[in-house]
């Protein structure tokens, strides 16, 4: 079991309200990702759930039980920190065994569990080493090992991959996803990387300035962004947001169009523009096109390779079925 409910949770530091009021339901076994820009309150929200910060008002329920005033140790949650937070003076074995030792488990049982976790995470050969003798990826695995041995109600991940290099991050992302699926344990994962959010989550919670902007599955957010913030945040490259005549003619204040939904032509189209930068990735070509009357350059994504370069004139046409319209308040129409 591992359902978590937040009821009107607020948090203030001094006079500053960082979480003005959050209601959220996380179901058992779900992989939920909190995503948002730096300083949006996602880590604070996670720490409130963990019990490392006290809520200013509101309630946190874990498995239906009020955990608002409970110390972290009693919430049956495991956390993986950005800095790994391993105990530097203990071996890998002792690090993983620590939560079990704290729970007063029998040493023979501890050994069995630690070896099981080490087997899953490919750490069997490193059990005698200290954290200082491990690579970043191995340290992160030890931190995950320490989290899984206790069989908690839920895992809390606080930007666990941001200290790793890009290639390793992709690997670890897959490993964490697979592990979560096989264990079926509720997980809350905090990241500022929307690709991590899109690829890992069952449910994404987009946060901005301590407020939940939208909650939904990755494809829900991609196809039906509730407002300009979510539209701009989810998707890579970012959605093009166009104001002015093009938007007004469609009855909106802002029109959004994703790079993959703009058709490129060298002869005709709705918008004529000049190529600023052409990024040839082999699989795709990204073009940044300056269009007269539209302030920011429009980004378009064309599958395969297109022979265009800086200064070329091109035409772009938005797919009418896939444009997003937003009103003056930034909400989707």
Partner 1 sequence: MARTVTTNRKLVFTVIGWAIGLTLFFPILWTFLTSFKTEGEAIATPPSFLFFDWTLENYLTVNDRSDYFRHAINSVVISLGSTALGLLVAIPAAWSMAFTPTKRTKDILMWMLSTKMLPAVGVLVPITLIFRDTGLMDTRTGLVIVLMLMNLPIIVWMLFTYFKEIPGEILEAARMDGATLGKEIIYVLAPMAVPGIASTLLLNIILAWNEAFWTVLLTTNNAAPLTAMIAQYSSPEGLFWSKLSAASMLAIAPILVMGWFSQKQLVRGLTFGAVK
- Residue for token digits 């009693």? 74
- Pick the closer one to partner 1 by CB: 98 or 222: 98
Of 6-65, binders to partner 1 (CB under 8 A) are 50-52
Residue count of the chain: 333
Minimum gap (Å) between residue 102 Cβ and partner 1:
4
Site track 88-127 with partner 1 (rule: CB under 8 A), x = hit: xx--------xx--xx------------------------
Q: Based on CB atoms, which residue is closest to partner 1, 139 or 261? A: 139
Site residue total, partner 1 (CB under 8 A)? 23
To partner 1, the closest distance from the beta carbon of 156 in angstroms equals 8
Residue pointed to by tokens 């200064």 = 311
Dihedral angle over CA of 200, 11, 7, 193, nearest 10: -10
Of 13, 59, 2, nearest to 39 by C-alpha is 13
**Binding pattern for the stretch 137-176 against partner 1, x by CB under 8 A and - elsewhere:** ---------x---x--------------------------
Any contact of residue 81 with partner 1 (CB under 8 A)? yes
156 neighbors 78 (Cβ within 8 angstroms): yes
Structure tokens that stand for 159 in this block: 């930007």
Strand partners, 257: 240, 323
**277 lines the binding site for partner 1 (CB under 8 A):** no
Q: What is the maximum span of the chain, computed from C-alpha positions, in angstroms?
A: 75
**Min. distance of Cβ 188 from partner 1 in angstroms?**
13
The residue assigned the tokens 């959220």 is: 24
Whole-angstrom distance, CA of residue 276 vs CA of residue 282: 19
Contact set with partner 1 (CB under 8 A) = 50-52, 71-73, 77-79, 81-83, 85-89, 98-99, 102-103, 146, 150
């Amino acid at each position: 079991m591992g359902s978590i409910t937040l009821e009107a949770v607020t948090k203030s530091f001094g006079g500053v309200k960082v979480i003005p009021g959050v209601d959220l339901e996380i179901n058992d076994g779900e992989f939920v990702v909190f995503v948002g820009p730096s300083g949006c309150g996602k880590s604070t929200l996670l720490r409130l759930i963990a019990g490392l910060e006290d809520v200013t008002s509101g309630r946190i329920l874990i498995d239906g039980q009020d955990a608002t005033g409970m110390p972290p140790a009693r919430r049956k949650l495991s956390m993986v920190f950005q800095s790994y937070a391993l105990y530097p003076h203990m071996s890998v074995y002792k690090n993983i065994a620590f939560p079990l030792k704290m729970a007063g488990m029998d040493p023979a049982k501890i050994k069995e569990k630690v070896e099981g976790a080490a087997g899953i995470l490919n750490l069997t050969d490193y059990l005698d080493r200290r954290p200082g003798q491990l690579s970043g990826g191995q340290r992160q695995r030890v931190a995950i090992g320490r989290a899984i041995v206790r069989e908690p109600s839920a895992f809390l991940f606080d930007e666990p991959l941001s200290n790793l290099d890009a290639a390793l991050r992709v690997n670890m992302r897959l490993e964490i996803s697979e592990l979560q699926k096989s264990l079926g344990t509720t997980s809350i994962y905090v990241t500022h990387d929307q690709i991590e959010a899109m690829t890992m989550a069952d449910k994404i919670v987009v946060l901005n300035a301590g407020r939940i902007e939208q909650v939904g599955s990755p494809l829900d957010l991609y196809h039906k962004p509730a407002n300009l913030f979510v539209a701009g945040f989810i998707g890579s490259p970012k959605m093009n947001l166009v104001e002015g005549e093009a938007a007004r003619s469609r009855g909106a204040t802002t029109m959004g169009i994703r790079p993959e939904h703009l058709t490129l032509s060298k002869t005709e189209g709705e918008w004529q523009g000049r190529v600023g930068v052409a990024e040839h990735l082999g699989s795709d070509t990204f073009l940044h096109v300056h269009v007269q009357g539209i302030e920011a350059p429009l980004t378009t994504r064309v599958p395969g390779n297109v022979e265009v370069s800086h200064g070329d004139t091109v035409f772009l046409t938005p797919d009418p079925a896939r444009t997003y319209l937003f009103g003056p308040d930034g909400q989707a129409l």
